[in-house]
Structure 1
């Protein structure tokens, strides 16, 4: 593995998931506008934002290492692949993001009660020098139990999932909200689909094992 791995995210959850691969990596904080475009689908939104985060991470990394578009690629310049990811949920046809407030978290979980909710996670891995990018969208469906308002309120009080799309932490007490999960990789629900990430890293000549 010759290239550094950079996670373009401030999410502690994505950092914890990426640590499972036992590869060294650094984190950068991309600053992008996450506002959905008019009539943008959930899949299109998370793909666009994942790619924008990865590209913003590349710009930050190259700036920090004084790499410009006119510089000659050689062994002395640090090579890196930058990972960008974004996630939203869809409830009743509406894109749902992070609640940010207790009231909104309760409202989101009331909407999800008794329903199957699909989460879409965008993933993009970009090389900082060649700008070669590999991107995809990974869906994951959560089947919620019929929840009482008391259960929802108690859950939000206990875990404060205010910065989680869908208002729950699947890796924690949030599991008590579900009847079953439907998807290829449970890491996807937390915010970073590792199985697909391993494939994208391999396309950049980075092997986990």
Structure 2
């Protein structure tokens, strides 16, 4: 497949955002007892949960596939300026691995004694790290303009939400952990949704340069 065809895959970034939250909202709507404010997204795919296979196969793995396609399209479209595309691909693979289902305890909280739960949480924590590394590279490569601004804002906001989440989770009386977790997912997948649009100027500039060379 030529680069001309692969460049279209960059639009898998916005698709990943819509696809993931479509599954989260859709499957949650089928469970009247499930509340977004108090429940983690991973609980939709927990062992024994209704529609467990759908959430893990389509919600997590499907979204990871979209992120991988974005990485391929990003590389094809930006060429040598596709900073961090290998890190983005690694993030996509790690996101797929979050399909490992966690197990819930009798108290309704994740069973931390379960190997599946610990493995799931490891992948959840690892998945954003290569992405953050890619954002650092993008911010260094594009010293001005929207790609740098988007990278810095996304990284700062994501780390801020993660910090708030850790702080609030230490308070067992906090009533809305699910909302804070969803904010981190919105910021994470939001970058993939916005990147093709906000990098358009750089993409168009590269296309014009290639035309002149041709």
Query: Which of the five TM-score ranges fits, normalised by the shorter chain?
Result: under 0.3
TM-score (norm. length: structure 2): 0.27
TM-score (norm. length: structure 1): 0.28
Which structure carries more strand by proportion?
1
Which structure carries more helix by proportion?
2
